[in-house]
Chain A
Amino acid sequence: MLNKKQVKKVAELARLELSEEELEDLREDLSSILDYVEKLEEVDTSQVDDEPIFSIQNQFREDSPDDSSEKLKEKMKAMGEHKDDYFKMESI
């Protein structure tokens, strides 16, 4: 159902590097899963509205800063290459 080119394109969107073998295995797996998922088309959803399923109100809090981020920053620095408060990485 899905061809190799489609899988490759989607993998690129998702920033995933796949080997040729992975590509083929995935194409097969995905095709069978998509076939299974097709059964949703049987369901009549014409009467169902677009509202989200759990009607949770937007939760707001006071926009007041605290110092918890300082502690966090120190710990984050131990994690990877950094310069000041930024992580270092390859340039684009």
Chain B
Amino acid sequence: MNSNTVKIRDIEKKLTRTSPKDLAAKYVKRAKEKNEEISALLSVTEDLAVSQAEELSDDDSKLRGVPIVVKDNILVEDAISTGGSKILEHFRSPVDATVVEKVKEEGAIIIGKGNMDEFAMGGSTENSAFTPTKNPVDLTKVPGGSSGGPAAAVASGMVPVALGSDTGGSVRQPAAFCGVVGFKPSYGQVSRWGLMAMASSLDQIGPITNSVEDAKTVYNIIRGKDEKDATSVEVEKEDTDFDKIKIGVPEEYFVEGTSKAVKSQVNEAIDKARKKDLFEVVDISLPHTEYALACYHVIMDSEVSANMARYDGIRYGLERENSDADSMKEAYLQNRGELGEEVKRRIILGTFALSRGYYEDYYQKAQKVRKLIKADFDEAFDKVDVIATPTSPVLPFDLGEKLEDPLAMYLADMFTTSANLAGIPAISLPAGKANGLPVGLQLMGKRFYDQKLLKIAEEVESII
């Protein structure tokens, strides 16, 4: 972690000497400057930040005066939310997402909207319809995706906290690439209301921060059952104190296809744990791992094709001048032509997988394989408390390197998709560098045992 980065408690300290309004102004200015270099933000919400700072009361709310970045697919009232897409370029949201309402209530100051792959489809933020984001650790590399903007904002010291979304790894992988912490809660722990839906059975919002402690603080603020999200639940298994933490290491995550540099760095981290009495490292197997990515793509693309149907260019204000469409169908075809290549690719795949004659072979089959993948985890968690793997099979790659080959890009998500499929909590921790580039260690926990996972993550963080 570099010295530019800032934590929540640093902000608390600064506020003993500075007013929230001055602090907000300072961070806005800094964000604009840093953004010239890395393009982490699609918009700087200066007016919003200033007015929020002015309205702060003198209490001890948990995020009082803390500047944060919100991924551009999470709605912030009166701010533009593009979802990284041209089709929403001018969409000014009339509402706050539930998570945004919650962080605002705790005094957070939203200073900008984070860049992202269009509609969260991608692993490098290069699919943003506006601009790619540069990795602050190495400007020639991608920051990961799809929450590349939020991760880069935290890694570059713009803010201590960002909110991202994770459907197949989109919080954890960019966190790994940028050398910061990224946490995906169990499916259902955090309301998705106000998050532009990508794949409704996989999406979760999660914090990106510089420490597990901060991720925990933010998670405890944003979690909770929400009347507006019928898939959100109020289930939390309280952790108990443990005198031994069993870490499961699945052999399937260390096979060919994972870069040697990543393997060696992650093994080094696991060895550090092995040396401590608190931890016991156990070899385990998750036999259906090799099917996770294929399973994910069928389910995700199918759900995407349904969720993208609402973007018709009419409902959310795309005004196409010189439109020569003279029928509704033509208007739809033309407006939706504004969608990016990757989005179109996934919509078409998903539509195909759900179509008559293919539904059973693709979608239904994938849903069944999904249950087998979840069963692997259920069985593993009878034996271990947490599962440790690399977050990504590769180091942050060059900007432009994987653009020609969508499948190669998908493979970078190999290790993160299982957690979304199984609905389990997962976190990426910075585990040092290889060849000068950040490597992430992923820890996965049992479904609904988020507090336990976070507690274990804090222990691991302190030794790696």
Contacts and interface: CB of A to CB of B under 8 A. Distances in A.
Given A48-B372, A53-B423, A61 B291 contact: no
Interface in B285-340: 288, 290-291, 293-295, 297-298, 305, 309, 312, 314-317, 319, 325-334, 336-337, 339
A26 B348 CA distance: 9
A90 B355 contact: no
B30 interface: no
B348 A76 contact: no
A40 B329 contact: no
Contacts of A71: 94
Interface in B159-214: 187-188, 201
Contacts of B231: 54, 56
B351 A22 contact: no
B92 A14 contact: no
Contact of B407 (A22, A32, A54): A32
Contacts of A43: 288, 291, 365, 368-369, 372
Nearest to A71: B94
Given A80-B317, A87-B315, A14 B348 contact: yes
Given A10-B352, A33-B297, A16 B344 contact: yes
Nearest to B297: A37
Interface in B80-102: 91-92, 94-95
B217 to A, nearest CB: 27
B355 A91 contact: no
Contacts of A75: 92, 94-95
A17 interface: yes
B371 interface: yes
Nearest to B351: A14
B362 A78 contact: no
A18 B325 CA distance: 15
B337 A41 contact: no
Contacts, number: 141
Contact of B317 (A45, A79, A90): A79
A15 interface: yes
B294 A36 contact: yes
Given A37-B362, A48-B372, A91-B327, A16 B333 contact: yes
A40 B348 contact: no
B366 A29 contact: no
Contacts of A45: 365, 368-369, 372
B345 to A, nearest CB: 6
Contacts of B139: none
A53 B373 CA distance: 11
B349 interface: yes
B344 A18 contact: yes
B370 interface: yes
B372 A14 contact: no
A77 B330 CA distance: 24
B95 A72 contact: yes
Contacts of B63: none
A22 B343 CA distance: 13
B291 A90 contact: no
B317 to A, nearest CB: 4
A43 B441 CA distance: 29
A61 B293 CA distance: 37
A37 B352 contact: no
B227 interface: yes
Given A79-B316, A90-B326, A54 B423 contact: yes
Interface string A51-92: 001101011010000000001100110111000000101111
Nearest to B370: A53
Contacts of B282: none
A26 to B, nearest CB: 6
B450 to A, nearest CB: 15
Contact of A59 (B91, B230, B294, B297): B230
B328 A89 contact: yes
Contacts of A42: 291
B141 interface: no
A30 B297 CA distance: 12
A72 B315 CA distance: 13
B233 interface: yes
Contacts of A30: 345, 348-349, 352
Given A54-B187, A80-B319, A90-B327, A16 B294 contact: no
Nearest 5 A/B pairs, CB to CB = A75-B94, A45-B368, A17-B333, A79-B317, A48-B368
18 contacts: A17-B333, A18-B344, A29-B406, A33-B349, A33-B407, A36-B293, A39-B290, A40-B294, A40-B295, A43-B291, A45-B365, A53-B201, A54-B231, A71-B94, A76-B94, A80-B314, A80-B316, A91-B328
Given A43-B288, A72-B95, 13 more contacts: A10-B352, A13-B351, A13-B355, A15-B333, A15-B336, A17-B333, A40-B291, A43-B372, A48-B371, A75-B95, A80-B315, A80-B319, A89-B331
